[in-house]
Every structure is written in structure tokens, then in C-alpha cells.
Amino acid sequence: MNDYLFTNDLIEWKNSSDNPVIERVLWIDEGYVIAFVFDINAKLGFPQPRRVSEILEALSEGFVTKLPNDPWARIVSDEDLTDREKTHRVKAWGIISSLVAQEPSIYYRDFRGSAVKQVVENYNIGRNEEKLVEKTVYKYLRRFWQRGKTENALIPDYINSSGKGENKGFGEKKRGRPRKYRQDLDIREGVNVTEEDRKIFRVAIAKYYNTPKKNSLTSAYEQMVKEYYKDDIRYDKNGVMKSILKPIYEIPTLTQFRYWYQLEYQKNVKKTITLREGEKKFALKHRAITGTSQMETIGPGSRYQIDATIADVYVVSKYNRTWIIGRPVIYVVIDVFSRMVVGVYVGLEGPSWMGAMMALSNAATDKVKFCKEYGIEITEEEWLCHHLPDAILGDRGELLGMPIEKNFIPNLHVRIENAAAYRADWKGLIERYFSIIHGHVKPFLPGYVDVDFRQRGAHDYRLDSRLDIDQFTEIIIRIILFHNNHHHLDTYERDEAMIADDVRCFPTDLWKWGITNRSGRLRTFSEDVVKLNLMPTEKATISAEGIKLKGKEMYYLCEKAIKEQWRERARSGLLSASEKSLKVVYDIRKPNFIYLPSADGRSFEKCFLTDSSERYADKNFHDIEYLIAYEKLQNQKNQGKELQDKVDLVADIENVATRAEKMTGDGSNSNSSNRQRISGIRDKRSSEKAERRVTEGFELAKAENNQDCESPADSKSQALEQPKSLKPDHLGLLRQKRQERKDG
């Protein structure tokens, strides 16, 4: 899209120095002639006008490039901000909100100077302290313009000054919380930990803590102080050598020792536990388990409309195509000015913000890549949209649960407009489009629900279901491509400028003409930034198996989790409840990945499904939830049958035991004492073994029906009838030999 320029685009001007100038496009006039830009790294200065043609010419000649990633983009939610940060943002926004709304006047020096003075005067009325000065207002304005024209751009950079987890330099002044009784000469202020102290700490940990003795950290600290922080030695009356310690205020505290240990050693849990407990114990107990719609619309992006409808088609599951999983919900996002369909989502979510987020995310997605996922090859010219608008109009169903702040989507600064309840006519454009979709699919799709559905004697259309959600989505995409490129808008009211340019009433033509002649509202953001702000959020927990999504038996891993040994620490009980809890974002359609937003909101960690959860790969969350629910249902159904089979098994076992008791009772010699019965068990076992070998021995090619052949019983009887002298008595010989050895 280098042929066009949009609000919030970052353009880098190449020069001979190593510090190229990066400017943000702040505003473009309706005639697409003048654009105001501002250096995003400037300490001083104000927005400057540039001719749009000049920028486009520089882009085509290679003197300027568009930057795909915004270095100031920051994804944060209010719950992650401190009260101090929120207060600062609210204060700054309250000061400049009236100024930044006056575009393009605020970019002109004469108006800006008088407007800023007026804001300062109004703010200071009745104030004797903490008065506002013009310098502060200009600082807020520069920050707002440089960092993406969002309210969150005004959040202070406290995150850059914390230094958490880093070794601080040391000087004369004592760091940390002052001691309560530091005025006492025996306590005083204490000392900072120096590099020499850290060397002693490392030796002490290796010598006294990381050993098979399993000393506590407190014991290791005491041993260290005894050996390395002494002024002298003495001998008691028994001749035992004892250390005379330095004054307490010259010795690092246990808290400092513990803090340093956590900072340097707990990052490698495996090494610490292995040194203390051994490799086997670690492997056993601690390793990881693996009016009109055009009103108030200047051009493309002035307003998008979003709505959802339930498709009149039943679909089947990708897991098992015999499962009918109901009717999908279609979300569509339309640009009001051009009637271009800019975003779509097909799923099972009812009208809610979760489904709407998927459609809005799709609106900012590269459509060539999106269509390719469904086997459709298109060029960029066939579906040009990958931008966010100035405003979005939806109703309560789609926007229910939306994380808006003051009618804006956080970080993206997209204004949200609600249609009144029971006023679908306010979104008549998109409501009419749904009837077009149903008209296209009705004649061709199996499982389509007709008007006679549920009438007595009518055909049950659910049994005709053949399409899964992905196949139905492919059909919807093809309908959208037809609408955008080939559907003539017979009722579109062109204005005089459009008539003069003879603009054809096709959505794609109207979009292109609007970008050239009425641009200024479309805004570009990094695709990842948009998705992180729009994708559903969910709570997750760190466990020994990995990162577990709440309510789902699915586990994930990322490079950070492996590097910092989250699983090992979770299994070893080294993570607190707050450390185990995570907030993740995910795409309903792709369970293969989830994402951990970073603390500064400008990056994320990508997590992958573990091998144990591989069966969920390449399926959407709807199918996964259906599978889990189906398996639970089958388990409950099988409980009754399994219980019955167990009862039958118990009865069979009891029957065998009863028969055994009867047989043993009938054949037992009542004259034999208990001692006689348990004596000679070894000889009796040998005799029993010999008898069983006769019946258990293998005989191949056995002729069972040959009457001339001897049966085992006949052979046994003949063997029993043989003279005793011809049949060696092995047991007798063994008994005789044993008795001879006893007699000596």
C-alpha cells in the first residue's frame, strides 16, 4: 500500500547520517493535498505540513520508506497500571483533549499559541499551588502526537526507571528503605552491597548452601559472617577459636544476602536443587513434566459498522463429521462510505465482544494472507483493506463485555458508537447485507434452514449438514469478494465530485476514489498490536506440565518459560500464587498458540502447544470445547455400565471362593492338626508341580479324535500301574539324601 498515505503511518526519510528522521502522519486533508507530520524522536518543535504528492513521490523513488512496526506502540490495560500512572494520564488528557480535537487548527502556530494560553488560564483559575505552565502543555502535546495519538500515549515512562532485577551502582548514600532506629550509634544506616561483597556471597553460597547438607539460607549467611566479616579472633577458656565480628552496621544484612541470592541463583533452579539434593532427586521430584449511512462520513475509515447474524445453515465438526454442531454466527464489518466489506468472522460465538473482536482484528489483517489460509488466491487490489477506522458503530449485542475506556478501545483510540436498543435501522446498511448473504447460500448449501423448518411433517434440514465451519467460511469469503469487486450499488447516492470523476458504484472503486480524494480517517497499526488489543484475554496458570489455560486441559510452553524454568519452579513449590497466575491472549481459531503480553505492552511472548496437548493442534476452540464436553458425556454414560460390570466381577470372584471353601472343607482331614497341615509345604509344592507338568506340558500335532491314540488319562493310569521298580522315585531319593546329611 505504498501508493497511499494514511493517518498514523510512520515514514522514514533516508539521509547521509546514521540517524534517519522518522515522521508520523498526524492528519491528511479531505482533498488529499496536505499532510501534517511530526518527528517521533524530536525533543522540541511542532508538526509541519508536507505535500502528500511529495511524500508519495519520495516513496516511489525510494528516498522514503514506510515502517511496519511502531517503536512507540504500547499495549496496556488499566488493570496493569498503577494509580500514579492512571492519575497522570487522566490529568494530561484533561489538559490537552480539547486542543487535539481541533484538527487541523492545532497544527498552526497562531491558533496553537492562543489556545494553549487559554487552556493554562482556565486550569489555573482558583489555584494557588501546582499551577500549570505552557511548557507542560506542549510536552503533553508532543508526547500525544509522537506516540500514536492515543490517550495511553500520555502514560509516563515509569517502567524505564524501576531497574527491577538489576544490580545498582553503589555510592556514599545508602540505598533502600531507611532504618527506623538509624540514629542509634549501635545500629546506624547500614552499608550498600559492593562488588567485593558479591564475591563473598558467591563463595558462601557454594560453600555453605549448595551442598548435600541442605543448610538453610539463614545458616549459610551466619557461616559467611563468621568467616568473612570478622575483625579478629579469640579463644575461650576451653581453647575454642571464635570470631570477633565487625560492627553490625558494617555487615550486609540477611535481607540483602537473600535478595542477591534470589536475583542471581533462583534463575537456575535445576542447578541449585541438583547441588543440594542430587541429580536423581531433581529428576524424581522437581523436573518439568513434559439518516443515511453516509451521514458524517468524510471518506473511507470515517465509520465502520459491525453486526452479527446467525446463518441459516447447520454445520458439522471437523473432528467428527457425524457431529452436527449447530448454526454458525457471521460477523461482518462494513465501511460506511464505500460499502466495502473490510472484515469478517465466522464462528460459534453468539453476539458478543469476543466474536466482534475477531471481526475487527480481521479488518486490520492482510487479506491476501487471510484468504490463502482458506485456499483462495487473490491479489491485494481485490481486497485492499487492512486499516482501523476513526469510529465503529455496533449495538449492545456485539459490544457486550467490550473493554472500552471512555468510549474508546484502549491503545488504538478507536471511538465506539452504540446503536440504541431496538433500532436496527441505524445499522440498516449491514442488516441489508445479511439478506444478500442468505440469498447467495440458500440454493446451494446442504443443511440450509428453510421457512418450513419445525413445521409438522417438514423435512429436518439438520440431517443434511455437510459443511464444517472452515468450508462455510470459504464460501462467505467468496461472497464478500464478489460483493466488493462485482456488485453494483444501485441505490448509492454519489455526490457532485464523484459524478464529475465518473466513479463507478462498486465498493472497490468507491474505496480507491475515497482514499485519493477523501482520505484522512484510515489509520494503520502493526497487525500484532491490533490483534493483541482485540483478541480475547484469559487467565492461565503455571504448572509442572506447562502454562494451562483456565477451564481447558491444554498446556503451552514458550522460550521464556523454558529459560526461566517455570515448570520446575512450579513443581518445586518456588512460585507464589501471584507468580503462577498469568494473563494471556489467544485466537479462537488457532489453539496452536497463545501469547503473553510483556510488562511494557510493546512486545509479547509466543507460546506453543506441548506434545501432551498435540491432539488439539489445528482445531479451533469451539471444536475442542465440543470434544471435551462429548468425552465427559461419554464418561458419565459409561459409569453405569462399568459399575454393573464391576458388580458382576465381584459376584464371579465370590462364587469361585465359595466353591473353593466347599471343596476344601469336604476333602480336608479333620484329624490333622494345624501344625501337620503347614509342615512339608516345600515337598508338597514339588509334588504338585510334578503333577501339573504332566497336564501343562506342550504336545504339538495332538490327534484328539484318534481313538487308537492314548489319552493323557490313559497314559497316566498306565504309568501308575507300572511296577514300582521300573519307575524311579525321585522324591524319595531326595528325602533320603536330605536325611543322610542331617544324620551326618
> Which residues, 6 or more positions from 23, have their beta carbon under 8 angstroms from its beta carbon?
10, 11, 12, 13, 37, 38, 39, 40
All residue ranges of the chain with pLDDT < 50 are 162, 291-293, 295, 405-406, 420-430, 441-444, 447-448, 451-454, 667, 709, 712-713, 716-717, 719-726
DSSP for 137-165, please give it: HHHHHHHHHHTTS-GGGGS--GGGT--TT
Q: Is 374 within 8 Å of 474 (Cβ atoms)?
A: yes
Grid look-up 497562531 returns 110
> Residue 291: its pLDDT value, please?
46
Convert the pLDDT of each residue in 22-73 to its tens digit: 999 999 988 888 999 999 988 888 999 999 889 888 888 888 888 888 888 7
Give the SS3 label for residue 740.
Answer: helix
Q: How many Cα atoms are found within 13 Å in the side-chain-facing hemisphere of 619?
A: 18
Question: pLDDT at position 444, please?
Answer: 47
Q: What is the pLDDT of residue 541?
A: 92
637 Cα distance to chain centroid: 33
Question: DSSP of 661-723, one letter per residue?
Answer: HHHHHHHS-TTS-HHHHHTTHHHHHHHHHHHHHHHHS--TT--TT-TTSPPHHHHHHHHHHS-
Residue 672 C-alpha cell reads as 490333622
Residues 6+ apart with CB under 8 A from 729: none
Cell 473490510 belongs to residue: 342
Yes or no: say if 340 and 385 are a contact pair by the CB < 8 Å rule.
yes
**So what's the pLDDT on residue 74?**
72
Tens digit of pLDDT for each residue in 494-512?
A: 888 889 989 999 999 999 9
CA distance linking residue 558 with residue 554, whole number of Å: 14
- Round to whole Å and give the CA distance between 188 and 178: 10
pTM of the model: 0.52
Distance CA 397, CA 431 (A): 14
List all residues 6 or more positions away from 139 whose beta carbon is below 8 Å from its beta carbon.
none
| Euclidean distance between the first and the last CA atom of the chain, given in angstroms as a whole number | 108
What is the CB neighbour count within 10 angstroms for residue 715?
12
Phi–psi pair at 13, nearest 5 degrees: -90, 120
For domain 304-525, say whether CATH 3.40.630.30 is its number.
no
Contact call for residues 198 and 252 (beta carbons, < 8 A): no
Q: How far apart are CA 530 and CA 472, in angstroms?
A: 26
For residue 120 the three cell numbers come to 493554562
Annotate 634-674 with DSSP letters as a single string: HHHHHHHHHHHHHHHHHHHHHHHHHHHHHHHHHHS-TTS-H
Contacts of 469 (CB under 8 A, 6+ apart): 315, 318, 328, 346, 347, 348, 620, 622
> Smallest Cα–Cα separation from 168: which of 200, 198, 206?
198
pLDDT at 722: 47
Phi, psi torsion values for 26, nearest 5 degrees = -95, -35
465 contacts 315 by C-beta, under 8 angstroms: yes
Domain range list for the chain: 10-66, 78-160, 195-286, 304-525, 536-626
Q: What is the predicted pLDDT for the residue at 72? A: 80
